Amino acid sequence: MATEKTTAQSSDSISSVLSERRKFPPSAEFSSNANVSSMEQYEKLYADAAADPEKYWGEQAEQFHWFKKWDTVLDWKPPYAKWYDGGKTNICYNAIDVHVKSWRKNKAAIIWEGEEGNERILTYGELHRQVCKFANVLKIAGIKPGDRVAIYMGMVPELIIAVLACARVGAVHNVIFAGFSAHAITERVNDSRAKLVICADGTRRRGGSINLKNIVDEAIVNTPSVRSVIVLKVTNETVHMHDGMDHWWHDLMGLAVDDCEPAQLDSEHPLFVLYTSGSTGKPKGILHTTAGYMVHAATSFKYVFDIKDEDIYFCTADVGWITGHTYMAYGPLLNGATVFMYEGAPNYPQWDRFWDIINRHKITIFYTAPTAIRAFIRAGNEWVTKHDLRSLRLLGTVGEPINPEAWMWYHKYVGQEKCPIVDTWWQTETGGIMVSPLPGATPTKPGTATRPLPGIMVDVVRKDGTTCDANEGGYLVIKQPWPSMLRTIYGDNERYEKTYWSEFQNMYFTGDGARKDDDGYIWIMGRVDDVVNVSGHRLGTSEVESALVSHESVAEAAVVSRPDEIKGNALVAFVTLKDEYEGDMKLREALRNHVAKEIGPIAKPDEIRWAKGLPKTRSGKIMRRLLRELATSNEVKGDVTTLEDFGVLETLRGQEDEN
């Protein structure tokens, strides 16, 4: 890896210690057919949007159906925004009805594959029929516009049907990932005061099944707002149906007609609440509204994924996360795309499940997480190379910054050195992608999300809010409102203002450290919580992680800090090795020296702990907060409701560095 040491120019800055020099321009063939085909075209789009954002976002909104056009594009009273105020629309109508009135009526909207290999295809016409029927079910259940509905289901098409039906009638959906505990459901249902819970009897996972209805039964003992539960039969679990409270999905659908007029909703009508973990305390209910979210979800999907009618698009995220909301449900369907949806685990029955799916279904666009990519690297190249992946034309990453070596593996083995990679940066709070290459225009560099999308004003600033110089690490902020921004934390405006708007005046603070390079490309350096002070240098731990993963033996690494009397903070690295390597003192020292060579002696980890796995959320993000607790006290006391595998913590607890 080509690197250079750079020096922070302010005591308030974050030292940036990595510089990636490899560059990959899009091929002439890809650019010639792309929605945005050159950097000149991108620069003009970006400049026009920057000069008159309201004009730009007004033009983007013109492509949608409005029952009544808006009066103003933006009403901005910091930190509260109203987009397309005075307008009336319905996102479900724009995602389905618009296409049913065109040749796309018989086009596949969703291609679904179950973990056991069973398949279903829903055309736009059939999806429309199912959504209308379930929207009428919601009405029969007494759900009115503004009512909250909790959804707790595995990855089956009915999950998207339920989401769209809520949007059709104006109910506010609150999707809860189908791996969360009863306590996590109770917390989210009570915070949103949901009247209805929609669940499945069970969900399949790695050859087994999880009884979801039993978990819901336990959860709603303490949820006074819930009036009824609708249960979808998926796995034929043994469940107890409570008279008057519980109703089978298929019974209610059998009574419902398949015609349902969409509610004509105000632009700022709440669309969904989605809970994201706070670093401490209870989860935050991120509130998104209808029209602005619709406009950015659709336009960002069109630009970033360069969508064409013949594409088959596979996003591996669960609908329980924001990626599943924006880039599996709403964004693709608003564009009339064909979405591939997979029920199960990426390594069931073995590690080539995704590559087998791509080969059989001729997937053209593949969007997954860096943590998954690193797991595939560890499993071995042979799982990928035995499959024909020539149908792929575009790859994407989402979830956290991708380290350059994982990017290069993805480029070489999955993309076969011909597919552009769109490394996307965004958050639950932003609603949609903010920073990403446009695949027909942007020369990519491994490890950077490159430039902001048109209409998005992102900057890297110092503590005083002034713009950082090139390669000076600072704080990633968004300087102007954007349509899909969160409107508040549900029921807690004070927390919303303090969390996102108190650090810099009239700027949204993302919580990330970053730098801009000489090309204006944005490099995410990790959460500011993960910035550590080592001997007077403020280092972003993600750069140390990238250096570790660039070593041939390392599959994955997470770096955190613990207090140190002399240096301020000491770096502790949790390292997962590739299967053919064994952790010992010799390799530990080799890795320390490798980091010193890559980015300087200041960044050498003080401890390296071997980890068979790292603690991750169910969406694939490494929970560095838990690792900090382990490194500091060898105990974990914080919230672990989003942790995927509790056994990982037990394995790591008690392990000492052998220096």
Say if residue 2's pLDDT is above 50: no
Would you call 243 helix, strand, or coil by DSSP?
coil
Give dist(CA 438, CA 222) in Å, integer.
47
Give dist(CA 487, CA 287) in Å, integer.
6
State the burial class of residue 615 (Cβ atoms within 10 Å of its Cβ: 0-12, 13-18, 19+).
buried
Say if residue 451's pLDDT is above 70: yes
Of residues 38 and 17, more confidently modeled: 38
34 CA to centre of own chain: 24
Over range 255-278, report the average pLDDT.
94
- Residue 378: predicted pLDDT: 86
Of residues 514 and 283, more confidently modeled: 514
Contact between 94 and 128 under an 8 Å Cβ cutoff? The reply is no
The tokens for 77 are 């009273």
Query: Domain limits at 193?
Result: 124-263
Cβ neighbours of residue 383 closer than 8 Å, sequence gap 6 or more: 350, 351, 352, 355, 376
Say if residue 21's pLDDT is above 90: no
Nearest to 320 by CA among 620, 648, 649: 620
State the burial class of residue 102 (Cβ atoms within 10 Å of its Cβ: 0-12, 13-18, 19+).
exposed
Q: Specify if 96 maps to a domain.
A: no
Give dist(CA 249, CA 231) in Å, integer.
5
Say if residue 105's pLDDT is above 90: yes
Q: What is the pLDDT of residues 137-178, one digit of tens each?
A: 999 999 999 999 999 999 999 999 999 999 999 999 999 988
Binned at pLDDT 50, 70 and 90, residue 657 comes out as very low
Binned at pLDDT 50, 70 and 90, residue 287 comes out as very high
- Residue 530: predicted pLDDT: 64
- 47-82 burial, b at 16+ Cβ within 10 Å, e below that, comes to eebeeebeebbbebbeebebeeebeebbeeeebebb
- DSSP category for residue 466: P
Would you call 627 helix, strand, or coil by DSSP?
helix
567 CA to centre of own chain: 35
Q: From residue 233, give the alpha-carbon distance in Å to each of 168, 239, 326, 635.
A: 23, 10, 26, 41
How many structural domains is the chain composed of? 2
Binned at pLDDT 50, 70 and 90, residue 398 comes out as very high
Which amino acid does the sequence have at 615? Answer: P
Give dist(CA 474, CA 142) in Å, integer.
50
Q: Specify if 563 maps to a domain.
A: yes
Give dist(CA 58, CA 84) in Å, integer.
8
Q: Specify if 387 maps to a domain.
A: no
Q: Specify if 141 maps to a domain.
A: yes
Give dist(CA 181, CA 320) in Å, integer.
14
- Residue 616: predicted pLDDT: 80
The domain boundary, picked from 263, 280, 315, lies at 263
Q: Specify if 32 maps to a domain.
A: no
The tokens for 624 are 């560095």
Would you call 388 helix, strand, or coil by DSSP?
coil
Binned at pLDDT 50, 70 and 90, residue 205 comes out as confident
Over range 172-189, report the average pLDDT.
90
Say if residue 384's pLDDT is above 60: yes
Give dist(CA 604, CA 588) in Å, integer.
11
The tokens for 474 are 């600072």
Give dist(CA 441, CA 229) in Å, integer.
48
Question: Bridge partners of 129?
Answer: none
Average pLDDT, the chain: 91
Over range 340-359, report the average pLDDT.
95
195-204, 471-480, 601-610, 634-643 — which is least confidently predicted? 634-643
- Residue 64: predicted pLDDT: 98
Q: Specify if 95 maps to a domain.
A: no
Q: What is the pLDDT of residues 65-89, one digit of tens each?
A: 999 999 999 999 999 999 999 999 9
State the burial class of residue 502 (Cβ atoms within 10 Å of its Cβ: 0-12, 13-18, 19+).
exposed
Contact between 540 and 569 under an 8 Å Cβ cutoff? The reply is no
The tokens for 165 are 């039906």
- Residue 96: predicted pLDDT: 98
Q: Annotate 583-618 with DSSP letters as a single string.
A: --HHHHHHHHHHHHHHH-GGG--SEEEE-SS--BBT
The tokens for 402 are 């991708």
Binned at pLDDT 50, 70 and 90, residue 654 comes out as low
Say if residue 15's pLDDT is above 50: yes
Give dist(CA 81, CA 291) in Å, integer.
12
168 CA to centre of own chain: 24
Would you call 281 helix, strand, or coil by DSSP?
coil
Q: Specify if 603 maps to a domain.
A: yes
- Give the angle 172-176-179 at the CA atoms, nearest 5°: 170
- Residue 531: predicted pLDDT: 65
Give dist(CA 302, CA 523) in Å, integer.
23
Percent of the chain with pLDDT over 70: 90
14-28, 193-207, 291-305, 470-484 — which is least confidently predicted? 14-28
- Please count the residues of the chain: 659
Nearest to 631 by CA among 576, 550, 573, 581: 573
Question: Bridge partners of 514?
Answer: 474, 524
Say if residue 7's pLDDT is above 50: no
- 305-340 burial, b at 16+ Cβ within 10 Å, e below that, comes to bbbbeebbbbbbbbbbbbbbbbbbbbbbbbbbbbbb
Q: What is the pTM of this model?
A: 0.86
Over range 240-247, report the average pLDDT.
96
Q: Specify if 224 maps to a domain.
A: yes
Number of Cβ within 10 Å of residue 609's Cβ equals: 20
Query: What's the CATH code of the domain at 166?
Result: 3.40.50.980
The structure tokens 């607890």 sit at: 653
Query: What's the CATH code of the domain at 605?
Result: 3.30.300.30
Say if residue 635's pLDDT is above 90: no
- DSSP category for residue 296: H
